[in-house]
Structure 1
């Protein structure tokens, strides 16, 4: 029960097929032909941008090839609005993209590798290593550090595929999908230590039609976090741990924030995580909402908060003390969730006093603590009958 689930074996054949198809059908542009050096020391940022400009000048599918080796990159921005190629651009990565070891080089920017307004982009294989350990040490110590940079950010784009990619040691978020339509993330592997701050695995916000499947995520924050404006999201076949679980939120910081709806989270194993499935909102006035959400077929292995709705989020009692969350939570289903809780309370529904939760369904949920049934704690929501109230 405690063994970590792996989903990569079927994907390997898929990646081999995709790489072979790209080689046959697409024009290939090797970054080394533009001056990139696979020595892990030479700044190859300009070479990658030159390769991008070359494929953008085409009017047919093209592939940027990153061969084996380590390629050092500073912050790079791939502009889609300046790219005339809408027929499909593929980054086929066999090697490792390496950030500078000095966290100040990229740590003051929002993203290390950023794509903006791209169409029909695929990123296949490879490793992104942001070398974030020195920044984590700074954040966990004396302070005065930069906020840190997201490793891979996709902004305002359409039809994006990220397959077989490994992201490790991110300074901040590993992968950010924002303002994007129709993105597919499959076979992603994300790793950072449990004590690395703010290293969310995948964050989705203001996006629709995103799927995240067959992936292994272990990090210091949420394995997957779901921000405002996210609709029609599917998360399926995920191994999460360490980390803070899969979270909708935090939501409701601003009064006119967009809502979250039509989210399905299926077939997930949580191992030793702080939370399992969670909805988290600020205790502040807001017109936002969370509705039509399904959490289905989840296995909990020694999870501190297997099922939690927290509408009283107000760290350090700053900017929201004694307030009530305005986020309306409705139509939430927890179904077929089993395993072990690391705390006595396995189901915690702490809903807003001004806008109580409605339409909460708990079906076939069996959680134990120290060999006995776990408890439920509920405020402004009906406790599941299958649990005794804490």
Structure 2
């Protein structure tokens, strides 16, 4: 199956017009291709000032809200065949969590597929959210939003295996690419990132044990980003493991924090800083990373006091 988008598609300006938490969703498709040189314009300007409620208690939340019910235990996510793909056991959450998202594009359980020659602009929140993908390639993919557009991550990957992002340009107000838990064999090659917050593994370990392995970032360039390559975990009761991560042949140009391991990641004081991170980081290489730092400290490795980094 191939869908060719030519011209520009405009998202509804009012996010309450979204049927769910995303503008367009592709789900449960094998051997799919999205191409055509077209543009998905999220028209997100109305939403950006409402995306920082974690820092600004007076902000008015977006009207699109996904409710995660309290006391969730042993939740199973299936592929449609009855075979469980993801198990969540956050230990019976004892409070209700409200998450407000307006993704432009969602790819849920897409396998053996390609997204090529497509542009995504000005999403209200994350531009692309990828869940349960396998053998999926983004090629010549462009994502653009202003540097001050809050929470407009380029591509967020979760619970996926065999994802390739190649020959692409991403400039947003948050992470160019973020890699969440339960991801394996993620390859990012020849990607230009900037502006934004760089490429991140994590954050991991906030609400459940999380595992990541086989991350390869090669031949990428970062321009005027807050961070370059970053691994971030929460100081929390939950653990996990992040291993076999390799960052090679990377150019940094005026990057504030080119190389970071941060195992005390705690934005907006949403954690207990007295708890060490329980995520184990191991087998990490930073090789042939060159260029310029916008600050005096170009490399910061802040590992867990309880589970020190190994083989970095």
Rg larger for: 1
Which of the numbers 323, 326, 331 marks the counterpart of 2:275? 323
Which of the numbers 312, 332, 338 marks the counterpart of 2:284? 332
2:33 matched to 1:122? yes
Contact 1:272 1:304 in 2 (8 A): yes
Contact 2:48 2:125 in 1 (8 A): no
Q: TM-score, normalised by structure 1?
A: 0.67
In structure 1, the partner of 2:6 is: 94
Contact 2:256 2:293 in 1 (8 A): yes
Task: Structure 2 unaligned segments of length 5 or more: list them.
Answer: 63-99
In structure 2, the partner of 1:168 is: 121
Q: Which has the higher helix share?
A: 1
In structure 1, the partner of 2:246 is: 294
Q: Which has the higher strand share?
A: 2
Higher normalized contact order (CA 8 Å, seq sep 6+, divided by chain length): 2
How many residues are treated as equivalent by the alignment?
Answer: 270
What's the offset of the Cα at 1:96? 1.3
- Segment drifting more, 132-141 vs 240-249: 132-141
Task: Structure 1 unaligned segments of length 5 or more: list them.
Answer: 1-88, 361-390
In structure 2, the partner of 1:28 is: none
3-state SS of the aligned residue for 2:306? coil
Q: TM-score, normalised by structure 2?
A: 0.84
Q: Distance in 1 between matches of 2:172 and 2:39?
A: 16
Q: Distance in 1 between matches of 2:271 and 2:130?
A: 27
2:61 matched to 1:137? no
What's the offset of the Cα at 1:335? 0.2
Q: Distance in 2 between matches of 1:254 and 1:220?
A: 25
2:94 matched to 1:183? no
2:140 matched to 1:224? no
Q: Distance in 1 between matches of 2:308 and 2:252?
A: 27
Q: Distance in 2 between matches of 1:308 and 1:111?
A: 31
In structure 2, the partner of 1:308 is: 260
What's the offset of the Cα at 1:115? 1.3
Which of the numbers 218, 222, 227 marks the counterpart of 1:266? 218
RMSD: 1.3
Q: Distance in 1 between matches of 2:226 and 2:262?
A: 14
What does 1:20-39 correspond to in 2, within 5 Å?
none
In structure 1, the partner of 2:194 is: 241
Contact 1:288 1:327 in 2 (8 A): yes
In the superposition, relative to structure 1, how do residues 139 and 206 fare at CA in structure 2: closer, same or farther (>3 Å)? closer
What's the offset of the Cα at 1:159? 1.3
* Cα offsets for 1:153-199 (capped at 9, x unmatched): 11122112100110000011111111111101000010000011111
* Cα offsets for 1:236-272 (capped at 9, x unmatched): 0011000000000111112333x11011000111110
Q: Distance in 1 between matches of 2:152 and 2:112?
A: 25
Q: Distance in 1 between matches of 2:113 and 2:125?
A: 22
Q: Distance in 1 between matches of 2:200 and 2:192?
A: 14
Contact 2:115 2:137 in 1 (8 A): yes
What's the offset of the Cα at 1:295? 0.1
In the superposition, relative to structure 1, how do residues 101 and 316 fare at CA in structure 2: closer, same or farther (>3 Å)? closer
Contact 2:118 2:140 in 1 (8 A): yes
What's the offset of the Cα at 1:321? 2.6
3-state SS of the aligned residue for 1:152? strand
3-state SS of the aligned residue for 1:134? helix
